[in-house]
Amino acid sequence: MIVVLKLGVAQEIVDKLARRIEEMGLKAHVIVGTERTVIAAIGEKRNGEQQTLESYEEVDKVIPILAPYKVASLEIKSEPTIVRVRDLVIGGGHVGVIGGPCSVESEEQIMQVAVQIKAAGATGLRGGAFKPRTSPYSFQGMKEEGLKLLAAAGEMTGLATVTEVMTPGHVDLVTKYADVLQIGARNMQNYHLLQAVGEVDKPVLLKRGPSATIDEFLLAAEYILDQGNSQVILCERGIRTFESHTRFTLPLATIPYLQSRTHLPIVADPSHGTGIASLVPPMSVAAVAVGADGLLLEVHPDPPKAISDGAQSLTPEQFVDTMVRCRKVADVLERTLG
């Protein structure tokens, strides 16, 4: 339920009502909007709660939330959620661009690419240190050493770092080094992992599972939000279809559709979405055109030599060109990009 408070209710009353909601066995999420404060009262439906809450003088009305996801829903919060880390801003008219290699491979590689994408206007640096690979025999990432190199490249350039965390046992370690925790597509329904990153005070970039429906995607985000972490960025990275010419199928309609359902920002990942470097620039432009709040792009100083995902990685020069093209579209739409 959404407990809509009257205008100008004092903070102590908001806290008192939130405590009362918790005593009823529900979870209270206080959402302060520019106009009003609402409290989302989340939990299993029982009888009588709506009337009880409506009886408080400070409560304007109590509205049931119809969507299966609650805190992620636009019904609760109509203003867009904006995630800010260092100079990376995602949402609310800002198109945040995160570039970098699939995997951190060496100090030279990550430093070089960080400097190059920064010069092209990116504000986020990606790089996997723990890699979810289809085959157990493929490179599994540089692990903590990779996290250190990524953090050092972030420090040197001021770029916000984004890297994947694969298991609840690594959440503390990855949180120590990275600015944004990525949940990979394969882990979108790893509920214990979602809950673990929900307890962290850092943004989470949640990738859509290749066969997840939009409701399942939003319910996965809900697991994170439900633990109190409100900084969730959704990422459309392509789904599995019968088509085999591209690695995945990148459904860009997901972006405006999600924007009609949730206040959370949505970034597009045309690198994994297509698997083919030449398709990444046009799909990036298209993603910005349909209103993406950000882009996640794989960039490697020398793609043919990349240990993972070289075929879909842009060269630094291609990245510069992609930025120029995307910025033109962003300008027309009166959005900032970078």
What residues make contact with ligand PEP under the rule CB under 6 A? 102, 128, 132, 184-186, 207, 237, 272
Q: Which is nearer to Mn ion, 124 or 198 (CB)?
A: 124
The residue number whose beta carbon is nearest to Mn ion equals 102
> Cα dihedral angle (85, 152, 205, 256), rounded to 10 degrees?
60
Which residues, numbered 89-118, are part of the site for Mn ion (CB under 5 A)?
A: 102
Residue type, 275: G
Measured CA to CA, the distance from residue 283 to residue 290 in angstroms comes to 10
Among 309, 313, 316, 327, binds Mn ion (CB under 5 A): 309
Q: Which does 90 bind (CB under 5 to 8 A by kind): Mn ion, ligand PEP, none?
A: none
Q: What share of the chain is helix, strand, coil (3-state, %, to 5)?
A: 40, 20, 40
Q: Which is nearer to ligand PEP, 116 or 182 (CB)?
A: 182
Q: Which of 335, 330, 318 is nearest to 99 (CA)?
A: 318
Q: Which is nearer to ligand PEP, 120 or 165 (CB)?
A: 165
> Cα dihedral angle (266, 269, 273, 279), rounded to 10 degrees?
120
Q: Which does 219 bind (CB under 5 to 8 A by kind): ligand PEP, Mn ion, none?
A: none
Q: Which is nearer to ligand PEP, 198 or 275 (CB)?
A: 275
Q: Which of 308, 321, 248 is nearest to 281 (CA)?
A: 321
Q: Which does 43 bind (CB under 5 to 8 A by kind): ligand PEP, Mn ion, none?
A: none
Kind of pairing between the strands at 204-207 and 37-42: unpaired
Residue type, 17: L
CB of 55 to ligand PEP, least distance (A): 48
User: What does the per-residue mask of binding to Mn ion show for 264-303, with x meaning CB under 5 A?
Assistant: ----------------------------------------
CB of 186 to ligand PEP, least distance (A): 6
CB of 207 to ligand PEP, least distance (A): 4
Q: Which is nearer to Mn ion, 141 or 198 (CB)?
A: 141
Angle between helices 316-332 and 280-289 (to 10 degrees): 20
Which residues of the chain form beta strands (DSSP E)?
2-5, 27-32, 37-42, 59-63, 83-85, 88-90, 94-100, 124-126, 160-164, 180-183, 204-207, 232-236, 266-268, 294-298, 336-337
Burial class of residue 153, CB neighbours in 10 A (0-12, 13-18, 19+): buried
- DSSP assignment of 287-303: HHHTT-SEEEEEB-SSG
The residue number whose beta carbon is nearest to ligand PEP equals 184
Q: Which is nearer to ligand PEP, 102 or 285 (CB)?
A: 102
Q: Which residues contact 329 (CB under 8 A, 6 or more apart)?
A: 285, 288, 289
CB of 156 to ligand PEP, least distance (A): 22
Q: Which does 207 bind (CB under 5 to 8 A by kind): Mn ion, ligand PEP, none?
A: ligand PEP
CB of 238 to Mn ion, least distance (A): 12
Q: Which is nearer to ligand PEP, 170 or 237 (CB)?
A: 237
Q: Which does 98 bind (CB under 5 to 8 A by kind): ligand PEP, Mn ion, none?
A: none
Q: Which residues bind Mn ion (CB under 5 A)?
A: 102, 309
